[in-house]
Amino acid sequence: MTLVAQPQNEIVVDKVAAVVGNHIILLSDIETQYQQYLTQTTLGEAELKCRIIDQLLLNKLLLHQSAIDSIVVTDDQVEQKINQNMAYYISQIGSAEKLEKYYGKSIGQLKEEFRPMIKDQLLIQQMQSKVTSNVNANPSDVKTFFDNIPKDSLPLINAEVEYTQILKNVPVGEEEKAKAKEQIAILRNRILAGEDFGTLALLYSQDKESAKQNGELGFVNRGDLVPEFEAAAFRLKNVVDISPIIETQFGFHIVQLIERRGEKINVRHILIPVKVTNDDIIRSQAEMDTLVSKLKSGEIKFSEAAEKYSDDKDTKLNGGLVVNPATGSSHFEADMVDPVILFQLDKMQVGDYSNPISTTSREGGQGFRILFLKSRSEPHRLNLKDDYQRLQELALTDKQNTVLEQWRNKKKLITYIRIGDDYSTCPSVKDWVAQ
């Protein structure tokens, strides 16, 4: 079934490759994933595309069943996952501005595009977790799994590190806060007196990317902005209304409403950040030096210090343990660690604490970071002694896949599934359609 009617002899824009329940898989879905995997595999085109549609069929079956089982994913869950993904993409490319430039879209627009896909991914994950919830891998399972790997096929494990951190932002002084607030109050009064908001944003806003657009952020949804800014922005009722002065983690703002479309708004803003002084930095470093001394003497445990002092929301309640966003584990290969952090870790022994390291927060503020090197492994062949946790995860995944395949074989018998001619001959796809 083609999606776009085409005169004879014209190219088909897209068409349905398969249907699972009330969910469709398009040829373009397969092609998109194919292009993503091209550089990561040596498989031929036909085999790779067959594997892709096999996985897409399973995903659609899980998605179909999630509706039947009333699996629920909240907007907050979707937003949290989107923000995690964005933080990872930004860390990989270097900055939010570079990410926006690469895609030619604002962060808000990218979030809006990702939202439906992220929601489906979370539904699929929750449904799969439900199917495999009672599966576990005990030591016997792990040993059996390892023994079944041919000895000449044991993979080489690259060197990895595992570390924890305490990240403390430099607190700003009241005098500098007062200066920033006074500066933005003057700009607000100039606008109320008749000067153009966009012109002043271009000249004075320290949000450099939006300043180029006269302060305009583009359309965003609820949940896309930091809470204080968002609350003030959505309170604006009339076009060209000006907000009171707003304080956020980035500094002080004023906001002007450009347009509202239901739960979407387009605003422009001016940001004046609060500067930290040399005295603030020196005082903060001295406090972190004292904390390192307490850690080394055993006066306080790292996990307690992280919870009490760290400003890193992602790690402070996890004992300061840094999780690899690409794998979900706490192990990092060298090329996956921030170069500044890696440089410090390379000089440390397992069990060492670093001295405070100057750093920049996601919001652009200054801070200090204390590192603790939890583990380091040298390159080696996979083995039970050094890689038990990794093998346990692999054994668990293997058992989960078996249970998932058994579940699939039952559900496919009672679910409408149709596969188009393009992929009906794939060996991995043939058994999807009940005879």
Per-residue pLDDT of the chain (435 residues), as tens digits, is: 333 333 444 444 688 999 999 999 999 999 988 888 887 777 888 889 999 999 999 999 999 999 999 999 998 899 888 888 887 788 778 777 788 888 888 888 888 888 999 999 999 999 999 999 999 999 999 999 999 999 999 999 899 999 999 999 998 888 889 999 999 999 999 999 999 999 999 999 999 888 999 999 888 877 778 889 999 999 998 888 899 999 998 899 999 999 988 778 899 999 999 988 888 899 999 999 999 999 999 999 999 999 999 998 889 999 999 998 877 789 899 888 988 899 999 999 999 999 999 987 666 678 999 999 999 989 999 999 888 988 998 999 999 999 999 999 999 999 999 999 888 888 888 888 754
Tell how far CA 266 is from the center of its chain: 24
Tokens 């038990």 correspond to: 388
CATH topology of domain 174-272: Chitinase A; domain 3 (3.10.50)
Same fold yes or no, 16-138+385-430 and 158-171+277-381 = no
Locus of tokens 């390159």: 379
What is the CA 329 to chain-centroid distance, rounded? Answer: 14
8 A C-beta contact, residue 354 and residue 166: no
158-171+277-381: CATH topology: Chitinase A; domain 3 (3.10.50)
Q: What is the pTM assigned to this prediction?
A: 0.60
**Domain parsing of the chain, residue ranges:** 16-138+385-430, 158-171+277-381, 174-272
CA torsion sign for 379, 385, 389, 395 is: positive
Nearest to 270 by CA among 222, 218, 199, 173: 199
Q: 253 near 233, Cβ under 8 Å? A: no
Cβ–Cβ contacts within 10 Å for residue 212, how many?
Answer: 13
Q: Which helix (H) or strand (E) holds 119?
A: helix 107-131
Question: How far are the Cα atoms of 89, 113, 196, 215, 257 from residue 219, in angstroms, in the given order?
Answer: 21, 12, 21, 13, 11
Assess contact for 236 and 243: CB atoms under 8 A: yes
Q: In degrees to the nearest 10, what's the CA dihedral of 285, 286, 292, 295?
A: -130
Tell me which fold the domain 16-138+385-430 belongs to. Triger factor/SurA peptide-binding fold (1.10.4030)
